[in-house]
Amino acid sequence: MGCAVVGGGPAGMMLGLLLARAGVQVAVLEKHGDFLRDFRGDTVHASTIRLIDELGLGAGFRDLPQSRLNNVAVPVPGAGLVTLAAFDSLKPPYNYVAMMPQWDFLDFLASAAAAEPTFTLLMESEATGLEFDGGRVTGVRYRATGNGAADAEQVLHADVVVAADGRHSVLRQAAGIRAREYPVPFDAWWFKLPRRASEKGEVAGVVPSLGDRDALIALNRTDYYQMGYLAPKGSDARIRENGVEQFRRRVAALRPDLADRVDSIHTLADLHWLDVRLNRLPRWYIDGFLCIGDAAHAMSPAGGVGINLAIQDAVAAAERLAPDLRQGHVRTTTLAAIQRRRRMPTVVVQTVQRIMHRVVFVPLFAGTLSGKTLTGAAAGNGLSIQRILFFFLRHNPVVKRVLPRVVAIGPRPEHAPGFARPLTLRPPTKLGAMTSPTDTAVDTAAARARLLELIKELAVVRGKVILSSGAEADYYIDLRRITLHHEASKLVGQVMLALADDAGIDFECAGGLTMGADPVGTAVMHAAVDAGRTVDAFVVRKAQKSYGMGRQVEGPAVEGRKVLVLEDTSTTGGSALTAVEGVRKAGGNVVAVAVIVDRDTGAKEKIEAETGVPYLFAFGKDELGLD
Ligand SMILES: O=P(O)(O)OC[C@H]1O[C@H](OP(=O)(O)OP(=O)(O)O)[C@H](O)[C@@H]1O
Ligand SMILES: O=C(O)c1cc(=O)[nH]c(=O)[nH]1
């Protein structure tokens, strides 16, 4: 076996799927017989949705029953419902958090992985320990608990064992790795309250209400409210001693609007206690063994970002493990590289959570924080750190932009490794283009999102610069760094092809003025061929060649054929116009001009007026943050 993953949660299943797509033998061991468990994190964050699109699974994912969380709001006395994180301010389509039962999400990942021949899912297989050879882990010991075979311990040998078995990881203990604990002031108790049909249309959101020494959050789900009661650590025994009636009264006091249904909490056995922990391992690995997700760093539920972080760990791990696993030996330096990659986002998120604990939860449980404190409505309430923070959360434009991003996307989001992405886009048919974008659109959305990120990261250069036209500008987009880039080139082809298809442009040749347009033309040609179409590329020289064939337009003849003129970017539109003129002289029928980035400097108007064909662009300067 290449890789044995222990724990069929979001991180374990994602890692299994990605490694299987790399063609590596991988087994995921899950101790339960199904994924059905209440009150696991039921969020799928924006960066995970983007990842799913990149894996070509977006259409199936969107078919799953789910609701969208568009914001996080707090009701504050005197200020109404205050939105703290408006996800819908993020760029679509990744501008929400999907809420769905985690078992649906895990079933979905499991069925995608089952399509890969190198993937095995071992349900009812409980890991009990590690197998060592010298100091190196060489496998995992486990017990199959199904079919009454509970006591037969077996060994699964693997090049690497990955523990994705959560906060109480059995395997990390077996590896002798100990976590560093940070104090957490509270625990959480999850339960459900019914949601009436008449309430279905209400804002989907997370609605917290603060008490004097406790708090209640409500997650609006399709036909119920998922309630989280928060109280000081160590309160579980007291809550249970006080009995169900007192607990119902407390819930009713915190959410009077839900008081009419607290009877649905039949007994305190309906409360699911979460012993909240915040910790992380100083070292996530030993030879042959790696921890990811909560096994490497238990997260507080504050912000609800633990699942996303765990999935991102899985992606980073898959990307780095796959090459080693293909060679049959996982180097310890590779495991160290995975920890290096994921440590920063972990530390950032945990630090934010620890600040939230200190600033919100400690005073809350000391009885010095309530909704009134935040707005200053409480008598004798001066400027407090909470009021200042609350003011910033509501009014500071940078905080208002950054907060939804931190929650929905997270620091250092990961992208699907090339080996896990679908090989080609589906060939669009004329009928398909007219009816629904289905799979093609979903894949294109992922390609477009990734390309945009690469352009921002690699091509945008700020500072004074002289342009081709002689004009001076404050920024330059060096798209050659994109069109000649190992990952971006392919995306350029896919995105530009989809751009023309979406505009209903039918073409047989693609190219433009050398040299910016050259790699764009070949990328489009390859994307078209991948999609089962025949498109040739061409190059328009800046001047006609004075010897040889004496041509200005090089490549298979464009004469009598439908031509898409391409550019990487345009400012005055002069280069694209030269290309159109060259193609027309060579007898080509120009059907459109398309550029990757438009600088919004009048090129569109000029080109459309002078050539009479549409001018398309994949990205505007506003999308690059250059507005
Ligand atoms: O719309 P325009 O004002 O024509 O400006 C845009 C052109 O400028 C750049 O090329 P450049 O002229 O620098 O030449 P190169 O492709 O040979 O590098 C770019 O690749 C476009 O072709
Ligand atoms: O106008 C240009 O010369 C120009 C602008 C730009 O952003 N990028 C580029 O390659 N050329």
Question: What per-residue confidence (pLDDT) applies to 207?
Answer: 57
pLDDT tens per residue across span 548-603: 888 999 999 999 999 999 999 999 999 999 999 999 999 999 999 999 999 999 99
- What residue's CA is closest to ligand 2, atom 8? 477
pLDDT of residue 425: 41
Categorize the per-residue pLDDT at 219 as very low, low, confident or very high, splitting at 50, 70 and 90: confident
Does any ligand 1 atom lie closer than 6 A to the CB of residue 578?
A: no
pLDDT exceeds 80 at position 398: no
Which pLDDT score is estimated for 442?
Answer: 38
Nearest ligand to the CA atom of 597? 2
Q: Is the pLDDT of residue 111 over 80?
A: yes
pLDDT digits (tens, 9 = 90+) for 431-489: 333 333 333 433 787 889 899 999 999 999 999 999 999 999 999 999 999 999 999 99
DSSP labels for 525-545? Answer: HHHHHHTT---EEEEE-SS--
Beta bridge partners of 589: 562
Asked if residue 255 has pLDDT above 60, the reply is: yes
Query: Please, what is the average pLDDT of the chain?
Result: 87
Mean pLDDT of 388-416: 77
From ligand 1's centre to the CA of 595, what distance in Å?
11
Region class of 33: left (phi > 0), else alpha (psi between -120 and 50), else beta: alpha
Q: Sign of the CA dihedral 113, 116, 119, 124?
A: positive
Cα(570) to ligand 2 centroid in Å equals: 7
Q: How far apart are CA 67 and CA 225, in angstroms?
A: 13
CA of 571 to the centre of ligand 2 (A): 7
Question: Angle at Cα 197 formed by Cα 191 and Cα 202, nearest 5°?
Answer: 80
Residue 401 annotated as lining a ligand binding site: no
Tell me what pLDDT residue 39 has. 64
Q: Which ligand is nearest to the CA of 477?
A: 2
pLDDT at 145: 84
CB of residue 575 inside a 6 A radius of ligand 1: yes
Tell me whether residue 545 is annotated as binding.
yes
Ordered by start, the domain boundaries in the chain are 3-65+99-181+278-355+380-408, 186-232+234-274, 430-624
Instruction: Please say if the pLDDT value at position 380 is more than 80.
Output: no
Centroid of ligand 2 to alpha carbon of 492 (angstroms): 17
Q: Residue 234 contacts by C-beta under 8 Å, 6 or more apart in sequence?
A: 187
542 is in an annotated binding site: yes
The whole-number average pLDDT for the span 203-227 is 71
Torsion angle, alpha carbons of 248, 253, 258, 260, to 10: 60
Residue-level pLDDT at 580:
97
pLDDT at 385 over 80: no
Which residue puts its alpha carbon closest to atom 12 of ligand 1?
Answer: 468
Per-residue pLDDT averaged across 194-212, rounded? 64
Bridge partners (DSSP) of residue 129 are 141
Residue 377 has pLDDT above 60, yes or no: no
Q: How confident is the model at residue 57 (pLDDT cuts 50, 70, 90)?
A: very high
Q: Are 88 and 222 a contacting pair, CB within 8 Å?
A: no
Q: Which atom of ligand 2 is nearest to the CA of 597?
A: 7
Residue 334 CB–ligand 1 contact under 6 Å: no
Kindly report the protein residue whose alpha carbon is nearest to atom 10 of ligand 2: 478
Architecture of domain 3-65+99-181+278-355+380-408: 3-Layer(bba) Sandwich (3.50)
Assess whether pLDDT exceeds 90 at residue 109. Answer: yes
Reading the block at residue 17, the tokens are 């799927």
Answer whether 451's CB lies under 8 Å from 491's CB: yes
With tokens 């505009």, the residue in question is 503
Q: Are 318 and 278 in contact (CB under 8 A)?
A: no
Looking at residue 254, its pLDDT comes to 86
- Per the DSSP assignment, residues forming a β-bridge with 86 are 71
Tally of CB atoms within 10 A around 418: 12
Residue 93 confidence class, pLDDT cut points 50, 70, 90: confident
Q: CATH 3.40.50.920: does it fit domain 430-624?
A: no
Give the mutation target among 481, 484, 520, 571 for probing the ligand 2 site: most ligand atoms within 8 A of CB. Answer: 571
Pocket probe mutation, ligand 2, options 460, 467, 518, 617, max atoms within 8 Å of Cβ = 467
Structural contact between residues 109 and 55, judged by C-beta atoms closer than 8 angstroms:
no
Burial zone of 263 (CB within 10 Å; 0-12 exposed, 13-18 middle, 19+ buried): exposed
Show Cβ contacts of residue 76 under 8 Å, excluding neighbours closer than 6 positions.
82, 371, 374, 375
Task: Establish whether residue 519 lines the binding site of ligand 1, counting it when its CB lies within 6 angstroms of any ligand atom.
Answer: no
233 annotated to a ligand binding site: no
Residue 500 C-alpha to ligand 1 middle, in angstroms? 21
- Pick from 461, 478, 575 the residue to mutate for probing ligand 1's pocket: most ligand atoms within 8 Å of its CB: 575
pLDDT at 435: 33
* Atom number, ligand 1, closest to the C-alpha of residue 577: 4
Comparing 137-146, 413-422, 514-523, 579-588, the range with the smallest average pLDDT is 413-422
Q: Say if ligand 1 is within 6 A of residue 572 CB.
A: yes
